[in-house]
Structure 1
């Protein structure tokens, strides 16, 4: 390997793969980026606990989540349809899917939805005072960039939550840690 003629020269410029390659890697049409889901808060409206000497505490609750949906694309708008939310515990849905209204997000736009979800039979360790839940928001999305429209695509967001439980306390619920949401399209 010869080093002749390279002394004192700067390293070669990194050349971008270009927009076509990047678009193919993201997997969305119309140059759209994946929507971002964030759980902003939770309100606890009803909490019933029952314990037995034989096993862990069973918890039933009615909870309202506030979820922010952000379209990070600067080039395309996003339309969401057939959205529904439910709560999952240990891989099982513990609430019925609650329908959400259609949502339109302009370029770099943000919207929020606040589903009220209720369910029962969640086993929780009473000594820990917390329960791990997964909020699932599912539906479909399509993107529009100028005259181009993408087809409807399934979107699934799963937000891992750890909620603090305080017997007899209602109102804003304590979300322990920062909820992490993953999105599949």
Structure 2
């Protein structure tokens, strides 16, 4: 075979590889475009969270040993909450890969995170969890000790139930990558006296609060 024939075959082979590359690239781009188009048409809506109730077993602030001069700086919190999540989408399912629930007071975390079970939520489905949130003798900033004292004297305290997690969307057989979910559920709790709230039910030394409070959700 002459050098001219070799060069000709080499050019033909390069053209064939180039065509195959263009076909493969075009197919991938078309598939991605169709997935994106379906995604835009379906327009996934973030899940809706509701804090239904909270049962307070302990919410107590105390001074650390030798810390009377600095006021209340240790907070013990034992609460059980009922959270409901609803998938508002008609054609999109939601995988809850990881959900941590914890309580905060004026921006500071006051309980350990409680891990909820991994679950899948179908179209228009509702999922309910009832986790326990516990924080024993958690140190708080000195200024928060003053705030806690004032709230307890007023008989009313605001804590926030936070949900931090990772979710995935399911459209047909397509499953998206992970998205971060953050939910913030305010809970106003009253403690006896003239400020005692009618939405709470005393059970022995505990109080159960019927809240039905919508949560702010970011995805």
Structure 1 and Structure 2 fold alike (TM over 0.5): yes
For residue 140 of structure 1, give the secondary structure of its aligned residue in structure 2: strand
- Deviation sequence 1:43-72 (CA, Å, 0-9, x none): 122343558898579753200000001100
Partner of 2:175: 149
CA 1:118–1:134: 2 relative to 1, 3 Å:
same
- Normalised TM-score (structure 2): 0.62
Partner of 1:9: none
Q: Distance in 1 between matches of 2:128 and 2:207?
A: 17
Matched positions, count: 160
| Shift in Å, 1:100 | 1.0
Higher deviation after alignment, 95-104 or 67-76 = 95-104
Question: Cα distance, 1:78 vs. partner?
Answer: 0.6
Structure of higher CA gyration radius: 2
Mapped pair 1:90 → 2:67 = no
Runs of at least 4 residues off by over 4 Å: 49-59
Q: Say whether residues 1:179 and 2:213 are aligned partners.
A: yes
Q: Tell me how far apart the structure 2 counterparts of residues 129 and 56 of structure 1 sit (CA, whole Å).
A: 16
Which is strand-richer, 1 or 2? 1
Q: Indicate which of 89, 93, 98 corresponds to 1:73.
A: 89
1:4-19 alignment, distance < 5 Å? none
Q: Quote the residue 2:123 is aligned against.
A: 107
Q: Is the 8 A contact 1:163 1:173 kept in 2?
A: no
Name the counterpart of 2:17.
Answer: none
Alpha-carbon distance, 1:133 to partner? 0.7
Instruction: Name 1:15's counterpart in structure 2.
Output: none
Contact 1:30 1:148 in 2 (8 A): no
1:172 is displaced (CA, Å) by: 4.1
Aligned-pair Cα RMSD in Å: 3.1
Match of 2:134 among 105, 108, 118: 118
Check whether the contact 2:52–2:212 (CA below 8 A) recurs between aligned residues: no
Is the contact made by 2:83 and 2:129 (CA closer than 8 Å) also made in structure 1? Answer: yes
| C-alpha displacement of 1:173 | 2.5
